[in-house]
Chains A and B, each alone.
Chain A
Amino acid sequence: MTRPKPEDDEYWNSSKFSAFTFDDEDDEFTKMKESKRAVNSMLVDDDDDDDDVEKVSWSGEPIGSKPNFTHSFLLLQYTLAYAPELRKPKSECKDYMSDWSPEETVRRMRKGKVFSLERFRSLQEKLLLLDEAVSENDGNVITAVLIYLKKSLSKEILFRELMLREIALRHYVHYLKEMGEQKLLVELMKALGRTDDMALMQYKEHLNIKDEGQRRDFLKNCLSLPFSQDDAIHVQDHYTLLERQIIIEANDKRGDAEIFKKFPRKASILNMPIITTLYYSCFYHYGESDVSTLTISEKQYILTALGARAKLKSWFDVDSLFNTKNWLGYTKKRSPIGFHRVVDILQKNNAPVQVLQEYMNLIDDPELKLSLAQKYKCHDIVIDTYRDLKDRQQLIVYRGKVERGSKEDKKIEELLCNMQIRWKN
């Protein structure tokens, strides 16, 4: 071992010395505390002598910018206070234990002193003890009392009493959660009539099941749990989803189809959210069959399918997503999401300018259209929009942003010379 630095040495010599002086006895500790108090007040009285005291530092190190002896003394005080043998005095007489009131017992528990709960045998005494712990707000002690009650009361009685004591109940629930006492928790929730919570608590268990087959079976069993109406639908969806994912996974794992060779899967589809599964289906199995029986909105479908088809650069599919035929057979582009959002998604998937422009032109709001067109450098649209807005000034300004002699430059030139247009400025 390397030799400690000098100041460490000094510190340890001194502190060992102090630890040695004080025995395990409780009264010794009290004496020490008394003398500490005496020393403390002594020092405080001559505040002016701070400068002299400064030189006497506990470890020989400078103590911050304003060193004083009180600080150093506290160092000793804390070191000693947390020395274990001093905290648990042997001298405490067992005879007196049986007489400790709930107040005294809780007080001793809070101070980390020796205590005994065995004398609290009648239900009334036990509850007094619990209520006293709760009134002192110390969660550590509340839980300690609850552990004792758990051991010494039947669960029916304990549950019944906890029903009337919200704070204690929450400590108990948390304790059981941490101990992993799932069965007891479920019983407790049932006894309390909190069936929603009970169902969720049981549902949570599925997270611990690694094997997907077992997980699916577990979820199937969950279907009969008393969930709230809305949650029951979600749990049903969860089961249906995993069931489908298992089938998809079994087929796709080998990756025989051409598309998997071209775009290898990054991960298995098991346990992915519904939207991710939809994306996956739109990416690898587009048009194969009805994608999902799960209830999703048109908006969710369009957003997801758009992302997947755009990623594959299937502009034809993208196109047909938005085509609607009216009764005369004309096709019209319609979207449940704003076309500016469509453009955004297409752009993020590196769509060519022609595709971008097509959808940009479908944006109703000219301001929005302009800002997007400028952002993505769709010159034609910017120029056409200014033309439609009859904004000559802006067109002149924009001319400075396109390359001189380019197609766009010429287009602006032509427009500016066009006498037919009635410019507003």
Chain B
Amino acid sequence: MAHTGRRDAPELPDFSLLKRLARDQLIYLLEQLPGKKDLFIDADLMSLLDRIANVTTLKQHEVDKLYKVELKPIVSTSDQLCFLIRPRIQTVKWIADIVNSDKASGRFRRYKIIFTPQKFYACETVLEEQGVYGDVTTDEWAFYLLPLDDDIISLELPEFFRDNFLEGDQRWVTTAGSALRLVYSLYGPFSKVYGIGRCAKMVYESWRDQVEDGEQKARQPEIGNVFLIDRDVDFVTPLCSQVVYEGLVDDIFRIKCGSVEFGPEVTSSDKSLKVMVNSQDKVFNEIRNEHFSNVFGFLSQKARNLQTAYDKRRGMDIQQMKTFVSEELKGLKQEHRLLSLHIGASECIMKKKTKQDFQELLKTEHSLLEGFEVRECISFIEEHINRQISMIDSLRLLCLLSITENGLLPKDYRSLKAQYLQSYGIEHLLTFANLKQIGLLVEQQPGETLTVMESKVGKLVNDKTAGKLTDAFSSLAKKSNFRALSKRLVLIPKSGEEYDLRVPRDMAYIFSGAYIPLSCKLIEQVLERDGWTGLEEVTRMLNGHEFAVTGGTNGTEARIKTDPQRIILVMFLGGCTYSEISALRFLGREKGYKFIVLTTAITNSARLLEALLDNHA
């Protein structure tokens, strides 16, 4: 489509190797338990395993039956049980129960736990405490990196977010360091490593430690620079509604491990269809980064082209027809299939979005980002809650309000919280406690008199002026951030100007021209400045923990802007959204970079908030 920009972007490294590594390792581990065995797989590892090895491969290595881990009594009759699990205490306890009940009934079996990507001492302690240490052998499947696409690699560890940012448990720091080390040893050395965030810094140190006593290589690097960023540096971006096609598909249908299940309403048949959504899908590849408003036009153009191509058949002689069938028809049919799928998906998205008054929702989000008519926004949110419309959306808007306004006024906080609990259940008291802990939904401290004064002034004048006042005061107040950051980094393009979404002029296009994602803007700025110089004010407001260091090489030859120098690996700790990936792809096209996104998991507003809910047992 209408993308200009530099065409000399470098080639991406080949990541399929990562899958082969993982597969071979898994097979090796299965062979460590020779003979027929039943394999129990953690539910959230199933899709992941699907990308690595199929059932045939497992069967070839004497896996007899496959079961999903459900934490219930098992029915297996096999003499050997193998468990492929994430290192979670609850799962290990369940396994210990199985072993103990076998022992009690005098049954002898061999047990093996394969932890992935690593084991934790806490898990082994459970085996010890339950008296089954030694009865169960343990192993590690060091499967850190799943390539989801040419430019996306995922650790597929959604729990990283909650464990690290809510619970303050640093168990995954070393894991992330090892993942980075694996990338380094296969595609490094890196010339520079930048980062921001407490976790980012720890991961950087862990990686450096691991490299220090490991190999020092001097081969041709395939990746130039690395940027590490914590999710809590920017919570605003993942909380916004996504309006770029790929993000929308994720928000509505939930992409899982790079594949999505389209229901009957999309396939217009009575069956659901599971498809991979990545660059291999030629239709998807052309629309994934587009603002939704362009997608219909593109798809109908594509449909017309297809019709023309089909029409060529008319007036062909036998020979031509033969060539057509053997050379073109298959491709056309494939395209046809994909096209109708994405048209179906787009229609479904439209239908759902119209039903939930999406336009009004977006208007509120944009007002919050801009700090404009905040009282109206609060009324909108209130009504959203009162009408019991989507529990997650209500929470999302509350969090956006809190972050953009540096917390809610105590009376607003009390009233909105009460109404939320009344609409969605009082047990969400626990959710609110979590959101407070992580800083997503907080009350302004009564001590912050400045803010109180501001709001009083704000009532006298209009909201826009109040927003400006917030800016003026924010450098004095302690916690303040978004509004001031947004001003300093110019995240909100001037309103009033027409924004042509078909020819985006900056990364703001991913949010209809209303907001440039903070995370991506930081990356852009740091790459441009080759460090944090000149961004001192910004890093101060972001709580610091920024760094910029030369990587594994001695740095001299790294100064030359070779191709790999323009390949940038961005590691998101705590997840990144498809919208952010689209923004980085845009930035890459503009500046001649290629970005590779390495994330602990793909996230979106729903996943992020669901991880913080505590309303169920």
Interface status of A354 (Cβ within 8 A of chain B) = no
- Among B14, B56, B382, residue most surrounded by chain A Cβ atoms (within 10 Å): B14
The range of chain B's interface size is 35 or more
The answer to whether A12 and B31 touch (CB under 8 A), given A66-B14, A137-B173, A139-B170, is: yes
- Among A37, A204, A275, A303, residue most surrounded by chain B Cβ atoms (within 10 Å): A275
The answer to whether A171 and B170 touch (CB under 8 A), given A44-B217, A82-B140, A303-B387, is: yes
Interface status of A300 (Cβ within 8 A of chain B) = yes
Q: Which of B288-296, B322-330, B418-426, B489-497 is near enough to bind chain A?
A: B418-426
The answer to whether A137 and B414 touch (CB under 8 A), given A238-B426, A275-B388, is: no
By secondary structure, the B interface counts as: helix
Q: Determine whether the beta carbon of B16 is less than 8 Å from that of A64.
A: yes
| Chain A 196-219 interface 0/1 with B at a Cβ cutoff of 8 Å (1 = within) | 010010011011100000000000
Per the bound structure, the CA–CA distance linking A71 and B19 in Å amounts to 13
Q: Determine whether the beta carbon of A74 is less than 8 Å from that of B25.
A: no
Q: Which residues between 170 and 194 of chain A lie within 8 Å of chain B, taking CB atoms? A: 170-171, 173-175, 177-179
Interface status of A4 (Cβ within 8 A of chain B) = yes
Interface status of A265 (Cβ within 8 A of chain B) = no
Per the bound structure, the CA–CA distance linking A63 and B615 in Å amounts to 48
Shortest beta-carbon distance, B357 to chain A, in Å? 9
Q: Determine whether the beta carbon of A140 is less than 8 Å from that of B121.
A: yes
Chain A residues, Cβ within 8 Å of B422: 273-275, 294, 296, 300
Q: Which of A141-149, A252-260, A316-324 is near enough to bind chain B?
A: A141-149
Chain B residues, Cβ within 8 Å of A200: 429-430, 433
Taking a contact as CB atoms closer than 8 A, the residue among A79, A208, A273, A299 that contacts B25 in the complex is: A79
Q: Which residues between 204 and 240 of chain A lie within 8 Å of chain B, taking CB atoms? A: 204, 206-208, 230-231, 234-235, 237-238
Q: Determine whether the beta carbon of A137 is less than 8 Å from that of B140.
A: no
The answer to whether A299 and B386 touch (CB under 8 A), given A15-B28, A65-B14, is: yes
Per the bound structure, the CA–CA distance linking A197 and B24 in Å amounts to 47
Chain A residues, Cβ within 8 Å of B142: 78, 81-82
Chain B residues, Cβ within 8 Å of A177: 167
Q: Determine whether the beta carbon of A47 is less than 8 Å from that of B24.
A: no
| Chain A 150-176 interface 0/1 with B at a Cβ cutoff of 8 Å (1 = within) | 000000000000000001001101110
Nearest chain-A residue to B434 (Cβ)?
A200
Q: Which residues between 407 and 448 of chain B lie within 8 Å of chain A, taking CB atoms? A: 414, 417-419, 421-427, 429-430, 433
Per the bound structure, the CA–CA distance linking A74 and B25 in Å amounts to 12
Shortest beta-carbon distance, B611 to chain A, in Å? 14
Identify the 8 closest CB pairs spanning chains A and B, nearest first.
A139-B170, A170-B168, A64-B14, A144-B121, A139-B171, A238-B426, A207-B617, A274-B422
Seen from chain B, the residues whose Cβ lies within 8 Å of a Cβ on chain A are 13-14, 16-17, 20-21, 24-25, 27-29, 31-32, 56, 59-60, 62, 88-90, 118, 120-122, 125, 137-142, 163, 167-174, 185-186, 202, 205-206, 215, 217-220, 382-383, 386-388, 414, 417-419, 421-427, 429-430, 433, 614-617
Question: Can you list 17 A-B contacts with CB-CB less than 8 angstroms, sorted by A residue number?
Answer: A2-B56, A8-B60, A63-B20, A75-B21, A84-B139, A140-B174, A143-B122, A143-B171, A178-B89, A207-B615, A207-B616, A234-B426, A235-B429, A238-B427, A272-B425, A274-B426, A341-B383
Known: A140-B174, A147-B121, A230-B417. 10 other contacts (CB 8 A): A2-B59, A44-B218, A64-B17, A70-B217, A70-B219, A109-B121, A143-B122, A177-B167, A208-B617, A273-B424
